[in-house]
Amino acid sequence: MKTQVDYISKDIYIQGYPQEVGIAKNALIAFLEQNTQNKQLLYTYEECQICANTICNGYRLVICGHQFCFNCLVFIFDQSLGDVNSFPIKCPSCQEDLCIEDLLQIINEDEQRLQKLKRMSINNYVQNHFTELQFCPNELCKAVHSTKLQKYTCYECQKTYCSKCAAEYHFDMTCTQYQETEAQNIQYLIKEGARKCTNCGVFIIRIDGCYRVECKRCQMHICWKDNCMKFFKDANSCYVHLDENHQGYW
C-alpha cells in the first residue's frame, strides 16, 4: 500500500488493494473524527493508476474492486482489442481478468466494440486450442472447425479442406506430395515477383501500370511501391497514400 500527502492541496491519497485501502481509510477517518475541527478534511480521493490523476467518472471493477477513470478503462479496452497478446483484458493494477459485467459496461452498447470483442474472444480461444480447432483456410471465411477430421467441408464457404495441410483438399495427392508441390509453387511465384495480399493472403503479381494494385480476391487496393503493401478499401485512398508517402503512383 502507498500513501501520499499533498501539502499544498492538503489531500491524502491512498493506493493499494481494496481491503488495505479500506482499513487505512477507516483508521484515518476515526482519527479525524476525534477532533470536530478535522471533519472538513473527510474527503477521500483515489488515484487512477492508468492516467495517474485523481479519478474522474470512476468505475470500480467487479472482481478485484480496483477503480479507474471510466474513459481510461475504455482506452485500455480499445488498445487490448488491437493486440491478441493483450487478451483476455486484465485489470491494470492486479492483472485480474475483467469479467463480462465489466466488459459490457465499458462497451456501453457500442456494436462495433462488441463485435471486436467477440472476434478477439474467438481468436484467443482457437489459438489456445490449436491442436483441436482451426479457422477455415479461406482467409475471407471466419468459420472454425475441428482438427479431428482431416477432410471436411466448411459449413460457411462450402469448400472442402484438409485440416493437416490447412488448405483446400488435394484429392489426387498425399499431404506430403501436396506440401512439396505447394512449396515449389510459392518459390516460383516469389521468384516472379509475386507478393502476398496483406489482407487476404493470396499471391499477387503486378505486371505493369501504376503502383496501385487491386486484389481480385478481396477487392482491396494495395500500395505496391517500395514494398509498402498497405491496403485500402477504395482506389482514391490508395492514390492519396501514394502521393503523400511515395511521391506519386507511377
- pLDDT tens-place string over residues 98-123: 999 999 999 988 898 898 888 888 88
CA distance 163 to 160: 10
Residue 181 pLDDT > 90: yes
CA distance 25 to 19: 10
Cell of 192: 516472379
* Owner of C-alpha cell 505447394: 182
CA 127, chain centre distance (Å): 14
The Cβ of residue 69 has, within 10 Å, a number of other Cβ atoms equal to: 19
CA distance 149 to 223: 39
Dihedral sign of CA atoms 32, 34, 38, 42 in order: positive
Residue 9 pLDDT > 60: no
Give the CA distances from residue 192 to residues 17, 73, 225, in Å, rounded to whole numbers and listed in that order.
Answer: 61, 48, 16
Among 15-24, 88-97, 128-137, 217-226, which is the least confidently predicted range?
15-24
Residue 203 pLDDT > 80: yes
**For residues 136-158, average pLDDT:** 90
Residue 40 pLDDT > 70: no
CA 204, chain centre distance (Å): 27
| Spatial CA neighbour of 76 closest among 91, 62, 66, 61 | 91
Among 10-24, 26-40, 164-178, 224-238, which is the least confidently predicted range?
26-40
Mean pLDDT of the chain: 85
Cell of 221: 487496393
Residue 38: what pLDDT? 47
Residue 4: what pLDDT? 72
How many residues are there in the chain? Answer: 250
Assess contact for 45 and 9: CB atoms under 8 A: no
Residue 30 pLDDT > 90: no
Assess contact for 79 and 90: CB atoms under 8 A: no
- HSE, side-chain direction, 13 A CA sphere, residue 107: 19
Residue 31: what pLDDT? 73
